[in-house]
Structure 1
């Protein structure tokens, strides 16, 4: 499907502003992760598991309400949801700088989950809306890097801020970032069209809409593959460095996110000029499957293992960017794009939440061979789910064409 009424020109500066807002949304996870020990010392009674929950509660909101957010954004208006979500994030981060008691801190973190969800659901819709079709691949691939880039920038900026001002300094800096981009988005985003609200969503209609989203081979397709990416990416980023010798550990930890970003913005963008996004996703899963086999065949050989790390990271980088690019390629209407982005948020958070404990359990039982048993089936499943979705789309297209040409009976 193609975009209806594409813009006369790509609004590149606005796309960069949207990406900057995404960096702030991802930092809602990163700002706790990078000072995990300091937060554990402050909220010692909660223990390590409690601080882990402080990190993950933002994603749990997305897991529970991802597709619902896509439906509500269509009703409320994309600009209102985006700007409101960013403003809410700024206020909450400023409140967290007060280091409130544990229950209030967790309440603020849960509300931050709604702020983060508003951004990740609406941003892909807005990028597709302000980019010409020939630039959508680049815009969506750039958007797909927001999580990894944000973690890297937060890890770089946090130590001096925390050393000088403690955790409140980091939270206030994040609040300032969110506030600046709230202002820029309010200034630059196109206005919501008047009277374009969707029907009111009562519970039976909400259930029906969820069924329609996950039953559609167009709307659900980007998320159906993306879950296998999220199952692997965070788990491997966390645990794979621990499996290699100490001398290689830092290199692997740094190379994985960097290679993914570079592959997505270079090879991925180039491929998207000639190849449908879904095929690029399948290619990425194919590369990650080969890397899994390489780990099994060459484990213990330093150079070969490092080459497999690069291959795996590049493959997952292709999956990352092309999955986002598939949203506007497969869905022409803004409402369908918001639903697709909501499904990605929901299934993506499911993968992120479950992937690391799954891989940890495999490693406990199988040792380094667990990487093969983890990567290979998930990569093949990602290829297969997209092949099945493509077959369903082809059948629907054939049925529609036959129906259009059939005589009235």
Structure 2
């Protein structure tokens, strides 16, 4: 039972990290009203948190090897909690933007350290289930923020919402400290030079085992947050909030039901590619007359296979804690790059073409993801056969 509690509290840390995105994306119209002179730059208020992760994500896996996942996680939670409390004072737009940039350090630390700890304190089928649970942290956070956060904001205001997020992150940090999780992790004490920083990236992305989950994750995150921000606004006002909550929840449900079963009968990468393929199939429904709200829920449901399969792939493809940390770091880097680029890119496509053009571009993104995973699978097979 202790292990179950530890996994759950680490998952709660993930909810706090995901809410760093959701607290901007979900009440986006209300935030625009707070900064009416900067409406054109508001998209960056959502995505700039990804900049540090896009730059340093792969390196964060190596940082785990230096300071250990526990210290890094506590740092991320405390920093994130403090920044959220500061943001509740509603500073000027550019100070708010700068705080979001620094908040990226917190987010990166949490999303690399927490799954590394989960992978270390669980084994076998329990690890697969735990990683599927971890993969739901983004979807659960967005659903909770849509269904609970929006009514809270309506009743008590954005200030209370941001303060609650900050204090909850600090509280989770305190509980994790009390838990005193013990993991075996070799500490790297060699001094770093620029050549070593470059070497970390080369080791990460040259390996088809370490890099594979991250490569697919980039194409997934290129659409996840951006579509949660864009698609509900394309729906009738009376159903948009409900659909915004159902979209991530649908992915969570299918991930929980299907991924642990599928991992017993097919490789983890096949599960990921199945999710991308079904995503293309779901989007095609919009061109066949299926109502957009159904397409939205169906698309996010099948993308749950990509969620669960990608996080489960890290410990399946990589056996050592150090390799897992590098792989989670690469996922953080590629995920942040996708989040950083996704909303501005898809909005640009939507504004310059139309909704149909945006949906077609998403099918292209998923098709490239399938091709990339297929190519990396061939590389792994070639390396295994030559060993």
TM-score (norm 1): 0.86
Distance 1:367 1:306 in 2: 17
Q: Decide whether the 8 Å contact of 2:143 with 2:244 is kept in 1.
A: no
Moved more, 311-320 or 118-127: 311-320
Map of 2:339 onto structure 1? 352
* 1:319 corresponds to 2:306: yes
- Listed one character per residue, the Cα deviations across residues 357-397 of structure 1 (whole Å, up to 9, x for unaligned) are 33334444553432552233222222211111111111111
For 1:116-135, list aligned pairs within 5 A.
116-135=107-126
Q: Decide whether the 8 Å contact of 2:14 with 2:111 is kept in 1.
A: yes
Distance 1:311 1:105 in 2: 35
Alpha-carbon deviation of 1:41? 4.1
Equivalent residue in structure 2 for 1:171, among 158, 162, 180: 162
Distance 2:335 2:262 in 1: 24
Alpha-carbon deviation of 1:278? 0.9
* 1:271 corresponds to 2:258: no
Distance 2:163 2:238 in 1: 37
* 1:13 corresponds to 2:5: yes
For 1:6-405, list aligned pairs within 5 A.
11-45=3-37, 47-159=38-150, 161-163=152-154, 165-191=156-182, 196-243=187-234, 252-296=243-287, 298-299=288-289, 301-302=290-291, 308-364=295-351, 366-400=353-387
Q: Decide whether the 8 Å contact of 1:144 with 1:321 is kept in 2.
A: yes
Match of 2:181, SS? Answer: coil
Alpha-carbon deviation of 1:146? 0.9
- Higher Cα Rg: structure 1 or 2? 1
Match of 1:219, SS? Answer: coil
Shift in CA distance, 145/356, structure 1 to aligned 2, threshold 3 Å: same
Match of 2:49, SS? Answer: helix
RMSD: 2.6
Shift in CA distance, 36/309, structure 1 to aligned 2, threshold 3 Å: closer
Q: Decide whether the 8 Å contact of 1:10 with 1:131 is kept in 2.
A: no
- Listed one character per residue, the Cα deviations across residues 150-183 of structure 1 (whole Å, up to 9, x for unaligned) are 1222234434544565433222211210111101
TM-score (norm 2): 0.90
Moved more, 111-120 or 270-279: 270-279
Q: Decide whether the 8 Å contact of 1:288 with 1:315 is kept in 2.
A: yes
Shift in CA distance, 369/163, structure 1 to aligned 2, threshold 3 Å: closer
Consecutive unaligned residues of structure 2, counting only runs of 5 or more, are: none
Distance 2:293 2:39 in 1: 32
Distance 2:236 2:95 in 1: 42
Alpha-carbon deviation of 1:255? 3.4
